[in-house]
Amino acid sequence: MKRNNRINRTALSLAIAALGLGAARAEGPTISGSVDLGYSYNFNGLDASAYRAFDANANSINLQYAEMVVTGKTASDVGYRVDVGYGNDAGVVSFFDGSGNDQINLQQAFLTFTCPITKGTITAGKFVTPFGAEVIEAKDNYNISRGLLFTNAIPLVHTGAKLDKGFMDGKYNVTAGVVNGWDVSADNNKGKTFLAQAAINTLPKISVIVGGAYGPEVASPEFTTPGTGSTEKFSRGLVDAIVKYTPTDKLTLLANADWGVEEGAAFEPTASDDTTANWAGVALYANYLFSDTLSGTLRYENFDDEGSRLLTPGTPHQSLNSYTATLQYKMKDVTYRLEFRQDQSSDKVFTDADGAADDVQSTLGAQVLFAF
């Protein structure tokens, strides 16, 4: 009898253990974040740097971004992520997405789950754009300042849903999505914007990402006054391409190209609703690791704004060139950066300390980053 009892208890224990192994377990929540402090000096003698978004405040010590990220997964295998930020960068992002120029911003809030048909990952909610070589968080970029392409050529965030599907052990990945538009939480017209992207990682040292977006992005007359217009007349398109090449363990080369078009958006003296604006840009990066703690990055950008859609109204075909050199010293949790940047324009759109028009702007930046 005692032997039978021991057998029964052993069988019961094994059954309970098997149930425990088969059941999904919740993960998290896990909390991470970063704090970004910055200072920028404008050699033109101004307190604001033109054509800058995240580092526009000059001659001032700024709390650029204090961000907290909460991630996890439920027992039913549904993932979640919430990013909340405070500071100057939060105000910039909230201004772009139309929620107001506040110091607090809900950067991301989304759920992820497996698509029952494709077995890919569905992301639904508010999420950062898949386009561009740079991101909102400075700690994940090579430079202090965001480049011309990140500030002007692409969206920052989307609200909607997307599907990501990988093939051949991650060598190929495709993304497709439908969202309300560029940097908006609530849609401002009847149309939707479609996203698509493909990533190729077949070679050990080279990766290629090509994607794009298309859809109406302004409050069209049809939306504000039914029967007076069509959202198709205000459609915006984007093509984004990124190539990353790591010839050695110490050197990383990165290239990003963007081309955009928007119907009825050109700002010219004779502009009409049928005027089309185009913009195009390229960014080149070279990052070199001098040691485990010291690195340097050179960045060159060219951005052409045909139709004055994004830069200075009334200056058609304006072109900007930007040259940036950044030195970084990284410890375990703290990163220090020093940066010099010069922007040059085809038109005299900058201003010097005396109020005279100039075609050059130079800045010096310093940054301290803490990540946890």
pLDDT tens readout for residues 155-194: 999 999 999 999 998 899 999 999 999 998 888 888 899 9
**DSSP 8-state symbol, 188:** S
Which residues are bridge partners to 69 per DSSP? 32, 83
Alpha-carbon Rg of the chain, whole angstroms?
A: 24
Cα 192 from chain centre: 20
* pTM, full prediction: 0.87
Burial class (CB in 10 A: 0-12, 13-18, 19+), 225: exposed
For residue 198, pLDDT over 70 is answered with: yes
Q: State the number of CA atoms in the 13 A half-sphere of 367 facing the CB.
A: 30
Q: Which of 21-25, 119-123, 303-307 has the highest mean pLDDT?
A: 119-123
**Which tokens sit at 73?**
């997964």
- Helix extents (H) in the chain: 2-22, 88-96, 148, 221-224
Question: Cβ distance 85 to 107 under 8 Å?
Answer: yes
What is the pLDDT of the chain when averaged over all its residues?
A: 87
For residue 260, pLDDT over 80 is answered with: yes
For residue 99, pLDDT over 80 is answered with: no
Tell me which of 2-11, 280-289, 322-331, 354-363 is least confident: 2-11
Alpha-carbon span 160 to 125, nearest angstrom: 5
Residue located via tokens 């100057």: 88
For residue 226, pLDDT over 60 is answered with: no
Domains along the chain with CATH numbers: 25-371 (2.40.160.10)
Listed residue (207, 211, 184) closest to 198, CA to CA: 211
For residue 145, pLDDT over 80 is answered with: yes
pLDDT tens readout for residues 288-308: 999 999 999 999 999 998 876
